[in-house]
Each structure stands twice: as structure tokens, then as C-alpha cells.
Structure 1
């Protein structure tokens, strides 16, 4: 099961929503869209018009699925799709409305690791430019890109133009627009032992080394046994993994704008770093989200 939780809001006097989601389950030979490549005709149609279909009769494709529209700035939709041992990747695309040719999506996300399906996976994503239209704003008129540009990620600094609806150069990164949740619902086992054929970890070059045991006299054996037992206890304690320890999130800061749209943020601190294979610390120690609303603004030119 795949569950979407879209975080949209008011931005420069516009509210966006998401068109119907198109998704595809495939193997490594198929690419729906990819940063740096030009959009295919079907991706162009989805990014510009929010319509069009992804054909299932393509080499490397296992299943095509869709999820319903989100008709407000914040919402959730879900669907179910099927994959098999030879088709372990999923790609998704959904148009941002209104927009010239912007979309959100995922490119070839791997759902299999070490021969087993992932139980769950969560990925946050931002806006993407299909490169087929020159528009900078949500409601820009149709202005085809000639020649067509490669697909690119829209960031707080790119495109670097004040007219760009996502241009906030004082931000390191934009807050996520959408969160994708993948949840394994059911597994149908085949005759083979492995459930899927995704990437796997390489075996250590020392994995074939064996241990040779040499018999010792009883007295020496007992003494060594006591020493080794004490040493094992010490080493076991020393090898114990230490998980990363984080503080709680701080309260959200005040909104940066008293009128219109601004940002608020919160932070957390790393109290203890992970050791000896413990759970690693996440990179995210600061979160930012949209805040404010246009109704707080007073449309006056003079304070009379």
C-alpha cells in the first residue's frame, strides 16, 4: 500500500493542489522520468495538462497504478500496487495545479534489499520542473521551451529569478511539498527462497576463514577458560552498540511574516553520537514550514 500525505499551503497568494497520481512498477531497464534527462511526451502531457496515461505495455514494466486527486492544499490519498521479484522499483508523477509544467514524483525507488521487501519506507519530495515550459509562476501563460530543457529540481535558489514562485534565496532548502509512504501489506511467496532480486550487500573477504582448535592440558585449559570467559564479558560490554540520542524538537518559532506567507522553524540537538553499529543520527536537525495567511494583510496604501 502506498499512502501520500501532501503538505501544501498558501504561497504568494496561490493555493496549489495535486492532480491524479500516476505510478509504475518496473525494473532497471525502464525510466519514467529522471533529473537531467528530457521529459518524454507522456511525462510532458502529465506535467503540463495533468492528463495522459502511462502505458503498461512497455518493456520492463510490471504494473501501472493511480491514486485520486488532492483538491485542497493539504490532503491525503492512497492506493495499492503489485510488484514481483524481477520488478522491484517504483516511480511516481503528479502535476502541481496550477503550474506551467511542475510536478512532484519519485524516480526508480528500490523496494527490495538483500532479497526481502522493505516493510515500510517514507520519502519527502519537493517540486520538479519538467523543462517543457518557460513559465516562472503558478498561473503563467503557456510558453513552450524551445529547445526543451532537461528535467530539474526546483529549489529555493533555482531558478534564480525573483519572479519564480519558489524563489526564497534566504532559505537553505524548501519545506517538502509531499511525503510518500510505502507500506508492505502482503507477500505472496513463490517456490524460490528469495522474495525479490534487488541489491544486496557484498560478502566480506574474510567470510571463509575458519578456526583451528588445538587441544591443551587440563590445568592450562581451565586457566585459559577462566581468562577467556572474563575477557568475553569485557569485550561483549565494550562492543555493545550505542544508538544516537536526540533531544526533543523545540517549539515552532514565530512566523517570519506578520502579513502574507512566511516561514517558521524548529530545531533539535544530538546528545549522543552512535557507536559500534548503533542507530545513526539523522541529518535533519532543523525543520522549516510555511506559515501565515493573506487574510492578515490590510490592503491600504496610506495609513489614514
Structure 2
């Protein structure tokens, strides 16, 4: 019977210690990532592709600068639509090169059936200018809290912007909002250097890489700005957590003027002006020496402008040179 008081004392001690380490309760209004409760988000894609910010070879016609539909997926940690440093799938290839999403959607569907890793797919309308907005809504659960999407840069060989596996559940709570600046990527399937390059398949295929102001390190590249440390963002995405509604949101089948109107922030960001230096060709060979026999002659060489300067970039140098010479073929 002496055991009972000892057990009671032990239980009292455990209770006392437990009371000391009882965690503070979480705020009841915090949006937690629970298995049974989903979160709904509104996504807004904003194009920031202006001629001032990206003056080199800026597409003005056939076709002008614009954006494809955004293809987005909410998914678990074991799925990737695309990944920097990995090879692009056939679906990503077709989407980034041609804007065709059929194979990409089949890949998403297959992943969802195989490992139950994809919750849903959503899309926005295309944006028919370098600047403008398009929106959509999507849903996430605690088991599928990641967002991935792609938007093709039009025109381009295989360039796109996007996000790979953005986790919307942070610290056990759903993010209320998020905003990300977007920069161009190369899918590694086409070797074109410029926006309007003809189709030239990359063999063997390269891995997906981010395009920077110095990579690819080639003066013909449309994003090559050696004076810049970093490219300005070419687009951005804004995410806002919204309350669940039963209302069915119908997106327009074709883009209209409503998603081409810039926001106030976009109007301010249009003042970004990237300096573009003049680019000239190599000198031609020296021409014939012209002059009278017995006198000094003159010969010339020329070069031409490959790219005119813009936004206070370095002006073009002289395009013609001459130097004295002795006339040829004098008798």
C-alpha cells in the first residue's frame, strides 16, 4: 500500500512539469494548413515586357510582344512541372516552342493518376501585349500546397517565365499573399538566339536554365545586356488568399481590353529604361587605292550598324575610315 503515495507524488510532479511547458495557444483566426481544410487563392499575372526595359530586338510586329495562356498546377512535393537544371519534358517542349498545351496536360493527368500528386490544373487567358494582366483562381490542400506554372514568351524560340513549386503553407499557416518578380528561362530545346529565330532544334537537348544579362554570353542574344548586372523583371505574379465561394468564375475564352489595362504600379515601372549600346559590324576589307600615279592615293573601308543605341546607350562609332596609300597599277 506504500506504493500509492509514491505514484501519486510522481503524477503530481509530471502534471506540474507539463503545466510549465504548455505551449501558447495559436490565434484562433490564423489560417492553418489542416488536412481537411483547403485554401483558395487568386492569381494575377502581370506582363512588364516594355520596349524601354528591353529595347534590344523588341518585337513590334509579326507577332508583337505578348504572352501565352498561363498553365498552372497545384500539387504535392513529389511533382514538378519543370525544374531549373533538369531536362524539359516533351510537354514543356511543345508548350515553350509552340504554345501547345495538349501533351503537357496529358503529363499532368498521368502524374495525378500515378501518385495522386496533382490536385488541379488552371489557366488564364493570354495577354496580347508585352504589358497587361490576366487572372485565375485555384485551390490547395495541406497535402498539395505547392504552386507551379508556366507562361510562354511570344515570340521566342523556347523561352518562358514561371514558378516551380512555391509552397503556400509556411510555418503551418497559409500565406495570406505573395508577390514574385519573374525572369526569363530557356527550356533548352531550341538553339535560337533572338525572339524571331527560326526553329533550330538543340541536339543534344540542354537543361532548363535562367536567361541573364550575360548568359547566354553571345552578342546576338536578345537578352544580352553586358552593362547590366541583372535583367529587370519581365513579369510578375501576385497571389492573394480569398474566401471560398460557390460562385462559378468563368474566364473569357479570348483576351479582351479588360486584361490589357495596366495597374498603377505597372505605370510606374514602365519608366525603367535599359541602356542599349550601338552595335556595328566588323570592318570591310580596304578598298582599292584611288589617286593619280606619282601622287598619294586614298583607300576606304566601311562597316554598318547592327543595332542602334537606345535609352542613352553608347552612340555608334564612325562607319567609314580612309588612309593614304600608293596607287596601284601605275605605269
Question: TM-score normalised to the size of structure 2?
Answer: 0.58
Are 1:171 and 2:228 matched, yes or no? yes
Aligned to 1:92: 149
Q: Please state how far the C-alpha of 1:184 moved relative to its aligned partner.
A: 0.3
Task: Classify 1:101/1:255 alpha carbon distance in 2 versus 1 (closer, same or farther; 3 Å).
Answer: closer
Which residue of structure 1 lines up, in the alignment, with residue 178 of structure 2?
Answer: 121
1:56 aligns with 2:117: no
Secondary structure, aligned partner of 1:94: strand
Partner of 2:211: 154
Q: Tell me the alpha carbon deviations over residues 141-160 of structure 1, each in whole angstroms, 9 at most, x when there is no partner.
A: 11101110000000000000
Structure with larger Rg: 2
8 Å Cα contact 2:158/2:186 also seen in 1: yes
1:116-163 Cα deviation digits (max 9, x unpaired): 110000000111000000000001111101110000000000000000
Contact 2:189–2:206 (Cα < 8 Å) also in 1: yes
How large is the RMSD of aligned CA atoms in angstroms? 2.7
Unaligned runs of 5+ residues in structure 1 are 189-248, 265-290, 292-300
| 1:115, distance to aligned residue in structure 2 (A) | 1.6
Query: 68, 73, 83: which is aligned to 1:24?
Result: 73
Match of 2:127 in 1: 70
Counterpart in 2 of 1:37?
A: 86
Q: How many residues align?
A: 206
Aligned to 2:239, what secondary structure does the other structure show? Answer: strand
Q: Counterpart of 2:45?
A: 4
How many Å separate the matches in 1 of 2:97 and 2:277?
A: 34
C-alpha distance in structure 2 between counterparts of 1:117 and 1:254, whole Å: 37
Q: List per-residue Cα deviations over 1:97-122 (Å, max 9, x = no partner).
A: 00000011000001011221100000
Superposition deviation, residue 186 in structure 1: 1.9
Match among 140, 144, 151 for residue 197 of structure 2: 140
Structure 1 residue 13: deviation in Å?
4.0
| Cα distance, 1:62 vs structure 2 | 0.4
How many angstroms does 1:51 deviate by? Answer: 1.1
C-alpha contact (below 8 Å) 1:56/1:62 kept by paired residues: no
Aligned partner of residue 51 in structure 1, secondary structure: coil
Q: In 2, distance between residues paired with 1:88 and 1:172? A: 34
The aligned residue for residue 79 of structure 1 is 136
- Give 1:242's aligned residue: none
Task: Say which structure, 1 or 2, has more relative contact order (CA 8 Å, 6+ apart).
Answer: 2
What's the CA shift string for 1:228-284, capped at 9, x where partnerless? Answer: xxxxxxxxxxxxxxxxxxxxx9xx7987469967459xxxxxxxxxxxxxxxxxxxx
Q: Write the distance in 2 (CA, Å) between the matches of 1:183 and 1:120.
A: 4
**Counterparts of 1:89 and 1:255 in 2: how far apart (Å)?**
34
Q: Which SS does the other structure have where 1:99 is aligned?
A: coil
CA gap 1:253/1:152 in 2 versus in 1, 3 angstroms: closer
The separation in 2 between residues aligned to 1:20 and 1:254, in whole angstroms, is 27
TM-score with structure 1 length normalisation? Answer: 0.63
Residues 152-205 of structure 1 deviation map (CA, whole Å, 9 limit, x = unaligned): 0000000000000000011000010111001001269xxxxxxxxxxxxxxxxx
